[in-house]
Structure 1
């Protein structure tokens, strides 16, 4: 049949590879970019899992930057906003 990898319902342009400090790489589907607390965030789904990773997100020209959310209070508020948006999508 086809040797194309399983994209788990994502278009190829909606997949990005996260590279962690330990050298591990994980392909993730982009669930979406959303605003919360006056900033932009991105929600990513590691392919083949039900997990969701949320990062701060900054884009300029053709470049983008993912920013770790180090503050627990900020993270909890962003997760709550993402969950609210996810429910509205259904």
Structure 2
């Protein structure tokens, strides 16, 4: 649920650490289950009694650290995909 009360369905991309905190990257989806705008939401993540808790990141420096960590995660994923594709090509 957004600050204005709108409910947005999202897919969880990943939960990742940055510094001493954890963050979650969410991909907002439209009614058809697609993400047309390439937008990603980042929130501070924690669990309380087994329930996920999301908090807005209010501090610009904290948001930058979380965004940088997410970018590093994406770079690692792209690298893994390239390596996997090259290994598949070599096997053929």
Task: Compute the TM-score of the two structures, normalised by the length of structure 1.
Answer: 0.74
Task: Tell me: higher relative CO, structure 1 or 2? Use CA pairs within 8 A at least 6 residues apart.
Answer: 2
Structure 1 unaligned residues grouped into runs of 5+: 1-18
Task: Compute the TM-score of the two structures, normalised by the length of structure 2.
Answer: 0.73
Higher strand share: 1
Determine which structure has more spread, i.e. the larger CA radius of gyration: 2
Name the SS for the 1:79 alignment partner.
helix
Structure 2 unaligned residues grouped into runs of 5+: 79-92
- CA distance in structure 1 between the partners assigned to 2:3 and 2:76 by the alignment: 34
How many aligned residue pairs are there? 72
